[in-house]
Chain A
Protein backbone atom coordinates (compact mmCIF):
# COMPACT_ATOMS: atom_id res chain seq x y z
CA UNK A 1 0.00 0.00 0.00
CA UNK A 2 1.20 3.45 -0.78
CA UNK A 3 0.12 6.80 0.49
CA UNK A 4 -0.93 8.79 -2.46
CA UNK A 5 -1.84 12.38 -2.85
CA UNK A 6 -3.89 13.52 -5.72
CA UNK A 7 -6.42 16.14 -6.43
CA UNK A 8 -10.06 15.34 -6.83
CA UNK A 9 -10.45 17.97 -9.49
CA UNK A 10 -7.55 16.91 -11.60
CA UNK A 11 -7.79 13.20 -12.26
CA UNK A 12 -4.71 11.36 -13.41
CA UNK A 13 -5.16 9.43 -16.62
CA UNK A 14 -4.54 6.16 -14.84
CA UNK A 15 -5.48 4.68 -11.53
CA UNK A 16 -2.60 5.02 -9.13
CA UNK A 17 -0.57 1.88 -8.86
CA UNK A 18 0.23 0.20 -5.62
CA UNK A 19 3.88 0.61 -4.82
CA UNK A 20 4.17 3.80 -6.80
CA UNK A 21 5.84 6.41 -4.66
CA UNK A 22 4.67 9.92 -4.75
CA UNK A 23 7.08 12.35 -3.10
CA UNK A 24 4.24 14.63 -2.01
CA UNK A 25 2.87 11.86 0.13
CA UNK A 26 5.82 12.24 2.46
CA UNK A 27 4.37 15.56 3.57
CA UNK A 28 1.07 14.14 4.69
CA UNK A 29 1.54 14.04 8.43
CA UNK A 30 -1.01 11.58 9.73
CA UNK A 31 -1.30 9.00 7.07
CA UNK A 32 2.21 8.01 6.31
CA UNK A 33 1.85 4.33 6.01
CA UNK A 34 3.46 2.52 8.88
CA UNK A 35 4.22 5.75 10.70
CA UNK A 36 3.78 3.97 14.01
CA UNK A 37 6.48 1.53 13.05
CA UNK A 38 8.98 4.20 13.96
CA UNK A 39 7.68 4.60 17.50
CA UNK A 40 8.98 2.49 20.34
CA UNK A 41 6.73 0.66 22.78
CA UNK A 42 6.89 3.37 25.41
CA UNK A 43 5.87 6.03 22.95
CA UNK A 44 2.97 3.95 21.62
CA UNK A 45 1.72 3.35 25.13
CA UNK A 46 2.11 7.01 26.06
CA UNK A 47 0.07 8.05 23.03
CA UNK A 48 -2.54 5.47 23.94
CA UNK A 49 -2.89 6.89 27.45
CA UNK A 50 -3.11 10.35 25.93
CA UNK A 51 -6.13 9.20 23.93
CA UNK A 52 -4.77 8.04 20.60
CA UNK A 53 -7.24 5.39 19.41
CA UNK A 54 -4.78 3.41 17.31
CA UNK A 55 -1.49 3.02 19.08
CA UNK A 56 -2.58 0.30 21.47
CA UNK A 57 -3.72 -1.87 18.60
CA UNK A 58 -0.39 -1.33 17.03
CA UNK A 59 1.38 -2.40 20.20
CA UNK A 60 -0.76 -5.53 20.29
CA UNK A 61 0.15 -6.38 16.72
CA UNK A 62 3.79 -5.91 17.44
CA UNK A 63 3.82 -8.36 20.34
CA UNK A 64 0.96 -10.72 19.72
CA UNK A 65 3.02 -13.65 18.47
CA UNK A 66 5.20 -13.51 21.56
CA UNK A 67 2.15 -13.30 23.82
CA UNK A 68 0.38 -16.03 21.89
CA UNK A 69 3.34 -18.30 22.49
CA UNK A 70 3.14 -17.64 26.22
CA UNK A 71 -0.61 -18.18 26.37
CA UNK A 72 -0.78 -21.30 24.25
CA UNK A 73 2.09 -22.94 26.10
CA UNK A 74 0.60 -22.13 29.47
CA UNK A 75 -2.97 -23.06 28.64
CA UNK A 76 -2.61 -25.70 25.96
CA UNK A 77 -5.99 -24.95 24.42
CA UNK A 78 -6.29 -22.39 21.64
CA UNK A 79 -9.76 -21.28 22.67
CA UNK A 80 -8.57 -20.72 26.21
CA UNK A 81 -5.44 -18.98 25.04
CA UNK A 82 -7.44 -16.67 22.77
CA UNK A 83 -9.82 -15.80 25.61
CA UNK A 84 -6.98 -15.22 28.04
CA UNK A 85 -5.12 -12.98 25.60
CA UNK A 86 -8.24 -11.01 24.92
CA UNK A 87 -8.78 -10.45 28.63
CA UNK A 88 -5.14 -9.59 29.11
CA UNK A 89 -4.99 -7.06 26.30
CA UNK A 90 -8.24 -5.39 27.30
CA UNK A 91 -7.01 -5.19 30.84
CA UNK A 92 -3.70 -3.73 29.64
CA UNK A 93 -5.61 -1.29 27.44
CA UNK A 94 -7.58 -0.05 30.43
CA UNK A 95 -4.81 0.18 32.95
CA UNK A 96 -2.09 1.46 30.67
CA UNK A 97 -1.89 4.59 32.79
CA UNK A 98 -0.60 2.49 35.68
CA UNK A 99 2.37 1.37 33.62
CA UNK A 100 5.63 2.58 35.08
CA UNK A 101 7.87 4.09 32.47
CA UNK A 102 11.03 2.53 33.86
CA UNK A 103 9.97 -1.02 33.02
CA UNK A 104 9.94 -2.59 29.59
CA UNK A 105 6.51 -2.57 28.00
CA UNK A 106 6.93 -6.20 26.99
CA UNK A 107 7.73 -7.20 30.56
CA UNK A 108 4.59 -5.46 31.71
CA UNK A 109 2.43 -6.99 28.97
CA UNK A 110 3.96 -10.38 29.52
CA UNK A 111 3.11 -10.27 33.17
CA UNK A 112 -0.50 -9.34 32.46
CA UNK A 113 -0.79 -12.18 29.96
CA UNK A 114 0.71 -14.69 32.37
CA UNK A 115 -1.67 -13.59 35.11
CA UNK A 116 -4.66 -13.85 32.80
CA UNK A 117 -3.58 -17.39 31.88
CA UNK A 118 -3.09 -18.39 35.50
CA UNK A 119 -6.52 -16.99 36.38
CA UNK A 120 -8.04 -19.20 33.74
CA UNK A 121 -6.19 -22.23 35.03
CA UNK A 122 -7.47 -21.57 38.53
CA UNK A 123 -11.02 -21.07 37.32
CA UNK A 124 -10.79 -24.19 35.22
CA UNK A 125 -9.52 -26.17 38.18
CA UNK A 126 -12.45 -25.02 40.25
CA UNK A 127 -14.88 -25.80 37.47
CA UNK A 128 -13.85 -29.22 36.41
CA UNK A 129 -11.52 -32.05 37.08
CA UNK A 130 -11.66 -33.48 33.58
CA UNK A 131 -8.97 -32.66 31.11
CA UNK A 132 -10.12 -30.67 28.12
CA UNK A 133 -10.81 -32.55 24.92
CA UNK A 134 -8.01 -32.90 22.43
CA UNK A 135 -8.33 -31.18 19.13
CA UNK A 136 -5.79 -32.51 16.70
CA UNK A 137 -6.78 -30.37 13.71
CA UNK A 138 -6.56 -27.26 15.75
CA UNK A 139 -3.24 -28.40 17.18
CA UNK A 140 -1.69 -28.62 13.74
CA UNK A 141 -2.92 -25.16 12.95
CA UNK A 142 -1.28 -23.91 16.11
CA UNK A 143 2.10 -24.68 14.78
CA UNK A 144 1.61 -21.69 12.52
CA UNK A 145 1.17 -21.11 8.83
CA UNK A 146 2.87 -23.82 6.83
CA UNK A 147 4.94 -21.55 4.65
CA UNK A 148 6.28 -19.59 7.56
CA UNK A 149 8.58 -22.05 9.22
CA UNK A 150 10.64 -25.06 8.40
CA UNK A 151 8.83 -28.35 8.90
CA UNK A 152 11.10 -29.40 11.72
CA UNK A 153 10.51 -26.17 13.60
CA UNK A 154 6.77 -26.72 13.37
CA UNK A 155 7.08 -30.31 14.39
CA UNK A 156 9.22 -29.49 17.36
CA UNK A 157 6.86 -26.72 18.39
CA UNK A 158 3.89 -29.07 18.19
CA UNK A 159 5.70 -31.78 20.12
CA UNK A 160 6.42 -29.36 22.93
CA UNK A 161 2.86 -28.02 22.96
CA UNK A 162 1.39 -31.50 22.98
CA UNK A 163 3.72 -32.68 25.71
CA UNK A 164 3.03 -29.61 27.83
CA UNK A 165 -0.68 -30.25 27.50
CA UNK A 166 -0.26 -33.64 29.08
CA UNK A 167 1.28 -32.51 32.32
CA UNK A 168 -0.46 -31.01 35.30
CA UNK A 169 -1.21 -27.29 34.87
CA UNK A 170 0.70 -26.24 37.99
CA UNK A 171 3.82 -27.98 36.80
CA UNK A 172 3.26 -26.67 33.32
CA UNK A 173 2.93 -23.04 34.33
CA UNK A 174 6.02 -23.26 36.52
CA UNK A 175 8.01 -24.84 33.70
CA UNK A 176 6.81 -22.36 31.11
CA UNK A 177 7.79 -19.46 33.36
CA UNK A 178 11.15 -20.80 34.49
CA UNK A 179 12.48 -22.99 31.69
CA UNK A 180 10.77 -21.45 28.68
CA UNK A 181 10.33 -17.80 29.57
CA UNK A 182 13.47 -17.49 31.65
CA UNK A 183 11.96 -16.09 34.85
CA UNK A 184 14.01 -16.66 37.99
CA UNK A 185 12.60 -19.01 40.61
CA UNK A 186 11.87 -16.00 42.82
CA UNK A 187 10.06 -14.09 40.07
CA UNK A 188 8.04 -17.15 39.17
CA UNK A 189 7.17 -17.69 42.83
CA UNK A 190 5.87 -14.15 43.09
CA UNK A 191 3.85 -14.48 39.88
CA UNK A 192 2.44 -17.84 40.93
CA UNK A 193 1.87 -16.76 44.50
CA UNK A 194 3.70 -19.65 46.07
CA UNK A 195 7.01 -20.38 47.79
CA UNK A 196 10.20 -20.63 45.73
CA UNK A 197 10.60 -24.22 46.92
CA UNK A 198 7.21 -25.04 45.46
CA UNK A 199 8.24 -23.60 42.11
CA UNK A 200 11.43 -25.66 42.13
CA UNK A 201 9.54 -28.77 43.00
CA UNK A 202 6.91 -28.19 40.31
CA UNK A 203 9.65 -27.58 37.77
CA UNK A 204 11.51 -30.72 38.77
CA UNK A 205 8.41 -32.91 38.64
CA UNK A 206 7.28 -31.26 35.45
CA UNK A 207 10.60 -32.03 33.77
CA UNK A 208 10.42 -35.60 34.96
CA UNK A 209 6.95 -35.95 33.43
CA UNK A 210 7.95 -34.23 30.19
CA UNK A 211 11.08 -36.24 29.68
CA UNK A 212 9.52 -39.43 28.32
CA UNK A 213 7.09 -37.34 26.26
CA UNK A 214 9.90 -35.43 24.61
CA UNK A 215 12.61 -38.04 24.72
CA UNK A 216 11.90 -38.96 21.16
CA UNK A 217 12.22 -35.35 20.17
CA UNK A 218 15.56 -35.13 21.95
CA UNK A 219 17.04 -38.25 20.46
CA UNK A 220 15.61 -37.72 16.99
CA UNK A 221 18.35 -35.25 16.45
CA UNK A 222 20.82 -38.09 16.97
CA UNK A 223 19.01 -39.84 14.10
CA UNK A 224 18.94 -43.32 15.66
CA UNK A 225 15.34 -44.42 15.91
CA UNK A 226 16.17 -47.76 17.58
CA UNK A 227 17.94 -46.01 20.34
CA UNK A 228 15.09 -43.59 20.52
CA UNK A 229 12.51 -46.27 21.19
CA UNK A 230 14.67 -47.85 23.83
CA UNK A 231 15.31 -44.52 25.43
CA UNK A 232 11.64 -43.74 25.79
CA UNK A 233 10.89 -47.23 27.09
CA UNK A 234 13.65 -46.84 29.59
CA UNK A 235 12.45 -43.47 30.63
CA UNK A 236 8.92 -44.76 30.97
CA UNK A 237 10.20 -47.61 33.09
CA UNK A 238 12.17 -45.35 35.32
CA UNK A 239 9.28 -43.00 35.64
CA UNK A 240 7.05 -45.51 37.33
CA UNK A 241 3.72 -44.18 38.49
CA UNK A 242 2.92 -40.94 40.23
Chain B
Protein backbone atom coordinates (compact mmCIF):
# COMPACT_ATOMS: atom_id res chain seq x y z
CA UNK B 1 0.00 0.00 0.00
CA UNK B 2 1.32 3.48 -0.77
CA UNK B 3 1.43 6.01 2.01
CA UNK B 4 -0.17 8.77 0.07
CA UNK B 5 -2.74 6.75 -1.76
CA UNK B 6 -1.77 8.69 -4.84
CA UNK B 7 -0.80 6.94 -8.04
CA UNK B 8 2.76 5.66 -8.09
CA UNK B 9 5.02 5.21 -11.06
CA UNK B 10 5.38 1.58 -10.08
CA UNK B 11 1.98 0.76 -11.51
CA UNK B 12 1.78 3.70 -13.84
CA UNK B 13 -1.54 4.95 -12.54
CA UNK B 14 -3.94 3.37 -10.08
CA UNK B 15 -7.43 2.64 -11.18
CA UNK B 16 -10.12 4.85 -9.85
CA UNK B 17 -12.55 3.19 -7.48
CA UNK B 18 -15.30 4.01 -9.98
CA UNK B 19 -13.45 2.04 -12.64
CA UNK B 20 -12.99 -0.95 -10.37
CA UNK B 21 -16.66 -0.81 -9.38
CA UNK B 22 -17.62 -0.63 -13.05
CA UNK B 23 -15.35 -3.57 -13.75
CA UNK B 24 -17.21 -5.59 -11.13
CA UNK B 25 -20.54 -4.78 -12.77
CA UNK B 26 -19.24 -5.61 -16.25
CA UNK B 27 -19.81 -2.06 -17.34
CA UNK B 28 -16.45 -1.48 -18.99
CA UNK B 29 -15.93 -1.92 -22.75
CA UNK B 30 -13.91 -5.06 -23.49
CA UNK B 31 -10.43 -3.54 -24.05
CA UNK B 32 -10.71 -1.32 -21.00
CA UNK B 33 -12.04 -4.18 -18.92
CA UNK B 34 -9.06 -6.29 -19.94
CA UNK B 35 -6.56 -3.59 -19.02
CA UNK B 36 -8.29 -2.97 -15.71
CA UNK B 37 -8.33 -6.66 -14.84
CA UNK B 38 -4.61 -6.97 -15.59
CA UNK B 39 -3.88 -3.96 -13.44
CA UNK B 40 -5.84 -5.30 -10.50
CA UNK B 41 -3.99 -8.59 -10.73
CA UNK B 42 -0.64 -6.85 -10.65
CA UNK B 43 -1.39 -4.08 -8.16
CA UNK B 44 -1.92 -4.92 -4.47
CA UNK B 45 -3.54 -1.54 -3.78
CA UNK B 46 -6.13 -1.90 -6.48
CA UNK B 47 -6.63 -5.54 -5.58
CA UNK B 48 -7.42 -4.33 -2.07
CA UNK B 49 -10.01 -1.91 -3.41
CA UNK B 50 -11.43 -4.62 -5.64
CA UNK B 51 -11.81 -7.00 -2.70
CA UNK B 52 -13.21 -4.27 -0.50
CA UNK B 53 -15.91 -3.49 -3.07
CA UNK B 54 -16.89 -7.13 -3.23
CA UNK B 55 -16.95 -7.29 0.53
CA UNK B 56 -19.02 -4.10 0.67
CA UNK B 57 -21.83 -5.66 -1.37
CA UNK B 58 -21.82 -8.67 0.92
CA UNK B 59 -21.86 -6.52 4.02
CA UNK B 60 -24.70 -4.41 2.64
CA UNK B 61 -26.66 -7.59 1.90
CA UNK B 62 -26.00 -8.76 5.45
CA UNK B 63 -27.12 -5.49 6.91
CA UNK B 64 -30.11 -5.43 4.56
CA UNK B 65 -31.42 -8.64 6.03
CA UNK B 66 -31.82 -7.09 9.44
CA UNK B 67 -34.90 -5.13 10.33
CA UNK B 68 -34.71 -1.78 12.06
CA UNK B 69 -37.11 -1.33 14.95
CA UNK B 70 -39.50 1.46 14.12
CA UNK B 71 -39.13 4.23 16.73
CA UNK B 72 -41.95 4.06 19.26
CA UNK B 73 -43.40 7.47 18.39
CA UNK B 74 -43.51 6.66 14.69
CA UNK B 75 -45.11 3.28 15.39
CA UNK B 76 -47.68 4.80 17.70
CA UNK B 77 -48.55 7.40 15.16
CA UNK B 78 -48.80 4.88 12.38
CA UNK B 79 -51.17 2.75 14.47
CA UNK B 80 -53.28 5.80 15.06
CA UNK B 81 -53.39 6.62 11.36
CA UNK B 82 -54.35 3.08 10.44
CA UNK B 83 -57.05 2.98 13.11
CA UNK B 84 -58.39 6.29 11.88
CA UNK B 85 -58.47 4.93 8.37
CA UNK B 86 -60.36 1.85 9.56
CA UNK B 87 -62.88 4.00 11.37
CA UNK B 88 -63.20 6.24 8.34
CA UNK B 89 -63.85 3.23 6.15
CA UNK B 90 -66.43 1.82 8.52
CA UNK B 91 -68.24 5.13 8.73
CA UNK B 92 -68.07 5.87 5.02
CA UNK B 93 -69.76 2.75 3.83
CA UNK B 94 -71.46 1.57 6.95
CA UNK B 95 -69.57 -1.60 6.52
CA UNK B 96 -66.81 -2.49 4.11
CA UNK B 97 -66.60 -2.92 0.39
CA UNK B 98 -63.22 -1.55 -0.45
CA UNK B 99 -64.28 -1.24 -4.07
CA UNK B 100 -66.90 1.31 -3.08
CA UNK B 101 -64.45 3.32 -1.05
CA UNK B 102 -61.98 3.40 -3.88
CA UNK B 103 -64.52 5.06 -6.08
CA UNK B 104 -65.05 7.79 -3.58
CA UNK B 105 -63.31 10.73 -5.23
CA UNK B 106 -62.31 13.04 -2.42
CA UNK B 107 -60.61 10.89 0.10
CA UNK B 108 -57.49 12.31 1.54
CA UNK B 109 -54.44 10.91 3.15
CA UNK B 110 -54.26 12.33 6.64
CA UNK B 111 -51.17 14.33 7.29
CA UNK B 112 -48.87 13.36 10.07
CA UNK B 113 -50.21 15.52 12.86
CA UNK B 114 -53.70 15.94 11.57
CA UNK B 115 -54.21 12.23 11.65
CA UNK B 116 -53.05 11.93 15.22
CA UNK B 117 -55.50 14.60 16.19
CA UNK B 118 -58.22 12.81 14.26
CA UNK B 119 -57.63 9.65 16.21
CA UNK B 120 -57.67 11.41 19.52
CA UNK B 121 -60.93 12.84 18.36
CA UNK B 122 -62.23 9.39 17.61
CA UNK B 123 -60.98 8.17 20.94
CA UNK B 124 -63.02 10.78 22.65
CA UNK B 125 -65.47 11.92 20.05
CA UNK B 126 -67.44 14.78 21.48
CA UNK B 127 -65.17 14.24 24.41
CA UNK B 128 -67.97 12.74 26.45
CA UNK B 129 -66.83 14.76 29.31
CA UNK B 130 -63.79 15.37 31.30
CA UNK B 131 -64.82 16.16 34.79
CA UNK B 132 -62.76 17.69 37.49
CA UNK B 133 -61.23 15.24 39.93
CA UNK B 134 -63.16 16.62 42.83
CA UNK B 135 -66.42 15.64 41.17
CA UNK B 136 -65.33 12.09 40.96
CA UNK B 137 -66.33 11.40 44.54
CA UNK B 138 -69.97 11.85 43.61
CA UNK B 139 -71.21 8.40 42.79
CA UNK B 140 -73.70 9.47 40.20
CA UNK B 141 -71.76 12.23 38.67
CA UNK B 142 -73.10 11.49 35.21
CA UNK B 143 -76.68 11.86 36.29
CA UNK B 144 -76.15 15.15 38.02
CA UNK B 145 -74.89 16.55 34.77
CA UNK B 146 -76.79 14.95 31.94
CA UNK B 147 -75.18 17.05 29.26
CA UNK B 148 -71.95 15.39 30.22
CA UNK B 149 -72.99 12.13 28.66
CA UNK B 150 -72.87 12.13 24.95
CA UNK B 151 -73.64 9.12 22.82
CA UNK B 152 -70.48 9.17 20.83
CA UNK B 153 -68.40 7.25 18.39
CA UNK B 154 -67.67 3.63 18.98
CA UNK B 155 -63.95 3.10 18.98
CA UNK B 156 -62.79 0.16 16.96
CA UNK B 157 -59.89 -1.65 18.55
CA UNK B 158 -58.07 -4.91 18.72
CA UNK B 159 -57.59 -6.51 22.09
CA UNK B 160 -54.00 -5.37 22.06
CA UNK B 161 -55.03 -1.76 21.51
CA UNK B 162 -57.28 -1.57 24.55
CA UNK B 163 -54.61 -0.71 27.07
CA UNK B 164 -52.91 1.96 24.91
CA UNK B 165 -56.32 3.43 24.13
CA UNK B 166 -57.25 3.71 27.79
CA UNK B 167 -53.87 5.15 28.56
CA UNK B 168 -54.17 7.73 25.81
CA UNK B 169 -57.65 8.78 26.84
CA UNK B 170 -57.01 9.03 30.55
CA UNK B 171 -53.57 10.54 30.39
CA UNK B 172 -55.12 13.54 28.76
CA UNK B 173 -57.49 14.07 31.63
CA UNK B 174 -57.48 14.27 35.36
CA UNK B 175 -61.07 13.27 35.75
CA UNK B 176 -63.75 10.94 34.60
CA UNK B 177 -64.30 10.27 30.94
CA UNK B 178 -67.76 9.06 30.04
CA UNK B 179 -68.09 8.61 26.32
CA UNK B 180 -71.15 6.44 26.29
CA UNK B 181 -74.89 6.91 26.39
CA UNK B 182 -76.56 7.24 29.78
CA UNK B 183 -77.78 3.68 29.63
CA UNK B 184 -74.41 2.24 28.75
CA UNK B 185 -72.79 4.26 31.53
CA UNK B 186 -75.30 3.12 34.08
CA UNK B 187 -74.93 -0.51 33.01
CA UNK B 188 -71.15 -0.19 33.33
CA UNK B 189 -71.60 1.39 36.74
CA UNK B 190 -73.72 -1.53 37.91
CA UNK B 191 -70.84 -3.76 36.98
CA UNK B 192 -68.41 -1.45 38.72
CA UNK B 193 -70.49 -1.61 41.87
CA UNK B 194 -69.65 -5.30 42.13
CA UNK B 195 -65.94 -4.62 42.20
CA UNK B 196 -63.85 -4.06 45.31
CA UNK B 197 -63.08 -0.57 44.07
CA UNK B 198 -66.06 0.81 42.14
CA UNK B 199 -64.67 4.25 41.31
CA UNK B 200 -65.35 4.78 37.60
CA UNK B 201 -62.75 6.64 35.51
CA UNK B 202 -63.81 5.70 32.00
CA UNK B 203 -66.74 4.32 30.09
CA UNK B 204 -66.01 3.99 26.40
CA UNK B 205 -68.18 2.24 23.82
CA UNK B 206 -66.01 0.13 21.59
CA UNK B 207 -65.88 -2.52 18.99
CA UNK B 208 -63.23 -4.98 20.11
CA UNK B 209 -62.08 -7.42 17.47
CA UNK B 210 -65.40 -6.83 15.80
CA UNK B 211 -67.59 -7.29 18.87
CA UNK B 212 -69.55 -4.43 20.35
CA UNK B 213 -68.36 -3.95 23.91
CA UNK B 214 -67.92 -1.36 26.60
CA UNK B 215 -64.55 -0.45 28.00
CA UNK B 216 -64.79 0.29 31.69
CA UNK B 217 -61.89 1.87 33.55
CA UNK B 218 -61.88 1.72 37.34
CA UNK B 219 -59.52 3.46 39.69
CA UNK B 220 -56.91 0.92 40.74
CA UNK B 221 -54.94 0.54 43.92
CA UNK B 222 -52.62 3.43 43.21
CA UNK B 223 -53.74 6.73 41.66
CA UNK B 224 -51.97 5.88 38.42
CA UNK B 225 -53.34 2.37 38.08
CA UNK B 226 -56.51 1.80 36.13
CA UNK B 227 -58.27 -1.52 36.25
CA UNK B 228 -59.76 -2.08 32.81
CA UNK B 229 -62.70 -4.34 32.00
CA UNK B 230 -64.23 -5.05 28.66
CA UNK B 231 -67.95 -5.66 29.09
CA UNK B 232 -70.51 -7.12 26.78
CA UNK B 233 -74.21 -6.66 27.34
CA UNK B 234 -74.17 -2.94 28.14
CA UNK B 235 -74.98 -1.70 24.65
CA UNK B 236 -78.39 -1.69 23.02
CA UNK B 237 -80.24 -1.06 26.25
CA UNK B 238 -78.61 -3.93 28.14
CA UNK B 239 -78.40 -3.62 31.89
CA UNK B 240 -76.05 -6.41 32.88
CA UNK B 241 -72.47 -6.27 31.79
CA UNK B 242 -70.26 -9.31 31.60
CA UNK B 243 -66.53 -8.95 31.63
CA UNK B 244 -64.83 -10.79 28.81
CA UNK B 245 -61.40 -9.29 29.21
CA UNK B 246 -59.47 -7.39 31.82
CA UNK B 247 -56.13 -5.77 32.25
CA UNK B 248 -54.41 -3.10 34.28
CA UNK B 249 -53.06 0.11 32.83
CA UNK B 250 -50.56 2.35 34.53
CA UNK B 251 -50.80 6.00 33.57
CA UNK B 252 -47.55 7.77 32.99
CA UNK B 253 -48.48 11.00 34.68
CA UNK B 254 -50.86 12.24 37.36
Residues of A within 8 A of B (CB): 1-11, 14-16, 18, 25, 28, 30-36, 49-54, 56-58, 60-61, 64-66, 68-69, 72-73, 78, 81-83, 85-87, 89-91, 93-97, 141-145, 148, 153, 156-157, 160, 175-176, 179-182, 197, 200-201, 203-205, 207-208, 210-212, 214-215, 217-218, 230-231, 233-240
Contact = CB atoms under 8 A, between A and B. Distances in A.
B208 A201 contact: no
Given A30-B210, A89-B82, A237-B5, A157 B68 contact: yes
A228 B57 CA distance: 19
Interface string B121-135: 000000000000000
B156 A54 contact: yes
Contacts of A208: 16-18, 20-21, 53
Contacts of B196: 11, 14-15
Nearest to B194: A11
B95 interface: yes
A156 to B, nearest CB: 7
A204 B64 contact: no
Interface string B143-182: 0000000000000111111010000000000000000000
B63 interface: yes
A234 B2 contact: yes
24 contacts: A1-B247, A6-B242, A6-B243, A8-B191, A9-B240, A11-B196, A31-B208, A33-B245, A35-B159, A57-B82, A64-B70, A78-B74, A83-B112, A87-B109, A90-B110, A95-B102, A157-B63, A180-B60, A197-B27, A203-B25, A204-B27, A207-B24, A207-B53, A211-B17
B240 A64 contact: no
Contacts of A175: 60
Interface of B: 1-6, 14-18, 20-22, 24-27, 45-46, 48-49, 52-53, 55-57, 59-61, 63-64, 66-72, 74-75, 77-79, 81-83, 85-87, 89-90, 95-99, 101-102, 107, 109-110, 112, 115, 156-161, 163, 190-191, 194-196, 207-211, 227, 230-231, 233, 240-248
A148 B66 CA distance: 13
A57 B97 contact: no
A65 B61 contact: no
Nearest to B156: A53
Contact of B86 (A57, A145, A176): A57
Contacts of B71: 78, 141-142, 144
Contact of B90 (A36, A53, A65, A66): A53
B96 A8 contact: no
A130 to B, nearest CB: 22
Contacts of B160: 1, 33-34
Given A8-B241, A36-B158, A214-B56, 11 more contacts: A1-B163, A7-B242, A53-B156, A54-B158, A60-B78, A87-B109, A90-B82, A95-B102, A179-B57, A203-B25, A235-B49
The 4 A-B residue pairs with the shortest CB-CB distance, nearest first, are: A237-B5, A51-B96, A180-B64, A234-B5
B98 A97 contact: yes
Contacts of A57: 79, 82-83, 86, 158, 161
Given A5-B244, A60-B78, A234 B1 contact: yes
Contacts of A51: 90, 95-97
Contacts of B112: 82-83, 86
